[in-house]
Amino acid sequence: MVFRHQVRWPSGLRRTPGERVPAFCGTGVRIPPSPDLQTNISKVKKFTLTHYYSFFSPNKEVAYILFKPSEFIDFAEGQFLLLEKDIDSKPIKRAYSIATTRSQLQKEGVIGTIVKRVSENGMSNYLVKKIQPKDNLKAIGPLGHMKLDENAQNLLLIAIGSGLSPIFSIYQALIEKNNFQKIAFLYWERTSDFLVPQVINKIKSFESTKIYNQFFLSRENKEGFQKGYIQQGLDSAIKFLGTNFKTYLCGKPQMVEDITSKLINDYKTPKQNIVFEKY
Ligand SMILES: Cc1cc2nc3c(=O)[nH]c(=O)nc-3n(C[C@H](O)[C@H](O)[C@H](O)COP(=O)(O)OP(=O)(O)OC[C@H]3O[C@@H](n4cnc5c(N)ncnc54)[C@H](O)[C@@H]3O)c2cc1C
């Protein structure tokens, strides 16, 4: 059933000149508000996602994709969905972390992910290169152990490449609730060509005396970015946070393992204060 739906641009995302809200946004499936966002988290459901809008990196290899789900999904920031689509007549199912927040789903009716294309004919290629407005995908979720701890006060957020999805979700939720003392955010990519401007600008807009943001590019010299890897930024980030902090990190397995072992061995971070997802 189709309901009248208020047309709104996703919060904090700046339109480029001439860019318009897609015409199909005017009608959509109405998402009933959750009775209580604090309860009933993580009930796994099967539902449908309808493509709503994609923002791209300059090289068009990374997309921040927003969908309209067929029903309200009560997830915790940090979790992921299993997406399924028939590609070349074969059903393909892959996991994608949620990059948006529960409050964005409730207020704007959107749920999103950030996808890097790593295949020529797999799911990431479909999501970044082929998806069309109003395309439908099957979804299962929410899934996953990575969940924002509402009580954490000092947070070290580390995102490696496409591992930005769950970290961006957690970061935005912390800013929305303003229930933290300090956040240090470290992010790595190869070059700025892989960065989606709308995502990076939103993260930059969070900067304040309570926030420490540092962006690393390993293969490019660029103003506002440090040349190198996240490991080089741990010292400054941890000095900013103090001794007691919770870490969320996500991305390439080798980098996640290296950073985790540095946190445990060099900075004496208790293992239980580190939550990670590797892919
Ligand atoms: C819990 C979880 C959450 C995830 N969240 C995200 C997310 O938010 N965004 C995202 O972009 N991906 C995410 N992934 C990875 C995603 O599920 C797919 O594995 C990825 O998009 C590749 O799928 P594909 O069908 O395009 O390629 P496939 O056909 O599965 O693989 C094609 C080739 O690409 C290689 N490959 C697969 N993954 C990667 C990679 N990450 N980097 C480099 N090469 C790779 C494979 O080894 C293979 O050679 C997540 C994975 C997990 C387990």
CATH number at residue 81: 2.40.30.10
Task: Looking at the structure, tell me whether residues 257 and 163 fall in a common domain.
Answer: yes
**Closest Cα to atom 18 of ligand 1:** 94
Q: Is the CB of 254 within 6 Å of ligand 1? A: no
Backbone angles phi, psi at 102, to 5 degrees: -65, -35
Question: Pick from 67, 81, 78: which is nearest to 31 by CA?
Answer: 67
User: Which has the closest alpha carbon to 35: 4, 74, 75, 71?
Assistant: 74
Burial class, 42, CB count within 10 angstroms (exposed 0-12 / middle 13-18 / buried 19+): middle
Q: How far is CA 7 from CA 66, 134, 235, in A?
A: 14, 16, 44
Report the domain count for the chain: 2
Query: What value does the mean pLDDT of the chain take?
Result: 88
Average pLDDT over residues 250-258: 96
Pairing mode of beta strands 226-227, 111-116: unpaired
Please state the rounded mean pLDDT for residues 211-238. Answer: 97
* 83/210 same-domain check: no
Counted residue by residue, the chain has a size of: 279
pLDDT, one tens digit per residue, over 101-123 is 999 999 999 999 999 999 999 99
Ligand 1 touching residue 171 (CB < 6 A):
no
Which residue's CA lies nearest to atom 45 of ligand 1? 118
Across the range 149-163, mean pLDDT stands at 95
Decide: 70 and 48 in contact? Cβ < 8 Å. yes
Token readout for 152 is 């954490």
Which residue puts its alpha carbon closest to atom 32 of ligand 1? 119
Question: Residue 124 carries which side chain, given as an amino acid letter?
Answer: S
Say if 187 falls within a structural domain.
yes
Does 163 share its domain with 271? yes
Q: Is the beta carbon of 79 within 6 A of some atom in ligand 1?
A: no
Q: Report the phi/psi class of residue 134: left, alpha or beta, with left for phi > 0 and alpha for psi in -120 to 50.
A: left
The reply to whether ligand 1 has any atom less than 6 angstroms from the CB of 97 is yes
Distance 124 CA to ligand 1 centre (A): 7
Choose the final residue of a domain: 95, 111, 142: 142
Q: Measured from the CB, is residue 65 less than 6 Å from ligand 1?
A: no
Are 42 and 70 members of one domain? yes
Determine the distance separating the centroid of ligand 1 and the alpha carbon of 74, expressed in angstroms. Answer: 24
pLDDT digits (tens, 9 = 90+) for 169-219: 999 999 999 999 999 999 999 999 999 999 999 999 999 999 999 999 999
Domain boundary (142, 170, 201) is at: 142
> pLDDT grade, residue 25 (50/70/90)?
very low
Res. 42 pLDDT band, cuts 50 70 90: low
Identify the three-state secondary structure at position 263.
helix
> Quick one: 18 and 133 in the same domain?
yes
Residues 206, 134 within the same domain = no
| Residue 168 belongs to domain spanning | 154-278
Domain end among 117, 142, 167 = 142
Residue 114 in domain: yes
Collapsed DSSP state (helix, strand, coil) of residue 171: helix
Spacing, Cα 122 to ligand 1 middle (Å): 9
Output b/e per residue, 240-249; b: 16+ Cβ within 10 A: bbeeebbbbb
pLDDT band at 150 (very low <50, low <70, confident <90, very high): confident
Kindly give the distance from the C-alpha atom of residue 177 to the centroid of ligand 1, in angstroms, as a whole number: 31
Residues 134 and 165 in one domain: no
104 with 158, same domain: the answer is no
* Element holding 56 (H helix, E strand): strand 45-56
**pLDDT > 60? residue 5:** no
CA 279 / ligand 1 centre spacing (Å) = 7
Is 111 within a domain?
Answer: yes
How far away, in angstroms, is 96 Cα from ligand 1 center? 8
- Selected residue with higher pLDDT from 77 and 27: 77
Torsion sign across C-alpha atoms 245, 250, 254, 255: negative
**Distance between Cα 245 and ligand 1 center (Å):** 29
Bridge partners, residue 43, by sequence: none
Closest ligand 1 atom to residue 96 Cα is: 5
What is the pTM for the complete model shown?
0.88
Measured at the CA of 69, the angle between CA 37 and CA 19, to 5 degrees, comes to 105
Confirm or reject: Cβ of 260 under 6 Å from ligand 1: no
